């Protein structure tokens, strides 16, 4: 997991945003979301600005608490969080049938934890597509430190309009990233376009289940908290996502809700009823310590104004994810 410490967290807060402008960026970001009265249409029409602000504000928190791979994983009994994340990434590579020498695209790659792991696991070259300058800068530094700059790289671009020729890649994957797309069909169509004919796209997608009731005030609040704390324009249903993949031209050869038969729930690292020394920073006690630390760093001027509010809306996301998962 990440070795980032308190000073790394403080120095990274705000990403590429000028430190004096972090507070106003938090104001603008929060106004997009239903939790503060924002509208879905505004989030979708301004998705580039919303998602970029989110990752500028949240990336250092993610790396400090979660590590280099910003995603969940279903989990086996006796398996650590780190082991489950690696297995989750290896499983995706195996499902894609990756082989040495293949050219692979990671759509919405974060700071590159999965692409480094998958490249080493499968002996492939992986390009990470990302529209956030701060994450790309950080990812390239992590590539250098891991010694994988020859096989792993980043391209700054929007996944709704990729700067690649048709039929470029031997395989494409996305891990909890295309949930940021304002139009899933348009996003999946771009993936279909850049993928070589007959090759595969694998995706771990965030979805709401048939248990969600839009007329239930508690369900609506949970959804709003998750969208606020994760930079999402909307959370689509499993059925909507599967139909969007088909509408984009793909044949769905396998799909599964990995939460259904997971021995340990995917939201376990965030569950306040659980305590773990190995992933202490993710526990409710660890998150409280982080919030207190960020408040202190902001007070003494080592962290920009607005940092505590970022910590607070990420905490809202954690609460919503656990409640929604349950």
Of 129, 110, 40, nearest to 71 by C-alpha is 110
Tell me phi and psi for residue 237, to 5 degrees.
-80, 160
Q: What is the pLDDT of residue 261?
A: 87
In Å, what is the CA distance from 216 to each residue of 93, 211, 220, 295?
Answer: 38, 11, 6, 34
Query: Please, what is the end-to-end C-alpha distance for the chain in angstroms?
Result: 26
Handedness of CA 62, 66, 69, 73 (dihedral sign): negative
Where is 204: in which H helix or E strand?
strand 195-204
* Weakly modelled stretches of the chain, pLDDT under 70: 1-7, 277-278
Q: In the beta sheet, which residues pair with residue 230?
A: none
Q: What is the pLDDT of residue 1?
A: 41
Q: How is residue 230 written in tokens?
A: 């994760």
Q: How is residue 314 written in tokens?
A: 């990420």
Model-wide pTM > 0.85: yes
Q: What SS3 class is residue 96?
A: helix
Q: How is residue 136 written in tokens?
A: 């790309």
Instruction: Compute, in degrees rounded to 10, the torsion defined by CA atoms 25, 29, 35, 38.
Output: 120
Q: What SS3 class is residue 75?
A: strand
Q: What is the pLDDT of residue 4?
A: 62
Of 5, 19, 2, 6, nearest to 294 by C-alpha is 6
CB 126, CB 171: distance < 8 Å:
no
């Amino acid at each position: 997991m990440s070795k980032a410490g308190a000073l790394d967290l403080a120095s990274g807060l705000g990403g590429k945003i000028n430190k004096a402008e972090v507070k106003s960026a938090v104001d603008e970001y929060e106004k997009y979301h239903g939790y503060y009265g924002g509208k879905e249409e505004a989030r979708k029409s301004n998705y580039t600005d919303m998602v970029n602000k989110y990752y500028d504000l949240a990336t250092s928190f993610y790396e400090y608490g979660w590590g280099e791979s910003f995603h969940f994983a279903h989990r086996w009994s006796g398996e650590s969080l780190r082991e489950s994340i690696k297995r989750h990434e290896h499983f995706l590579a195996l499902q894609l049938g990756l082989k040495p020498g293949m050219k692979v695209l990671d759509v919405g790659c974060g700071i590159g934890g999965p692409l480094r792991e998958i490249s080493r696991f499968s002996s492939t070259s992986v390009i990470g597509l990302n529209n956030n300058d701060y994450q790309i800068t950080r990812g390239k530094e992590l590539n250098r430190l891991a010694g994988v700059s020859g096989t792993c790289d980043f391209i700054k671009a929007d996944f709704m309009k990729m700067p690649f020729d048709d039929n470029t890649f031997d395989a494409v994957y996305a891990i909890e990233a295309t949930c940021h797309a304002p139009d899933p069909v348009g996003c999946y169509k771009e993936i279909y376009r850049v993928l070589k004919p007959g090759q595969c796209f694998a995706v771990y997608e965030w979805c709401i289940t048939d248990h969600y009731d839009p007329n239930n005030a508690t369900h609506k609040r949970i959804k709003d908290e998750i969208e606020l704390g994760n930079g999402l324009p909307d959370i689509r249903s499993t059925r909507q996502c599967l139909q969007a993949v088909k509408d984009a031209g793909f044949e769905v050869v396998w799909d599964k809700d990995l939460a259904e038969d997971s021995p340990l729930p995917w939201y376990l690292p965030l569950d306040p009823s659980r305590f773990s020394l190995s992933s202490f920073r993710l526990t409710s006690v660890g998150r409280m310590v982080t919030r207190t630390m960020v408040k202190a760093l902001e007070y003494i001027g080592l962290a920009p104004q607005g940092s505590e509010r970022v910590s607070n809306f990420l905490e809202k996301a954690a609460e919503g994810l656990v409640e929604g998962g349950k």
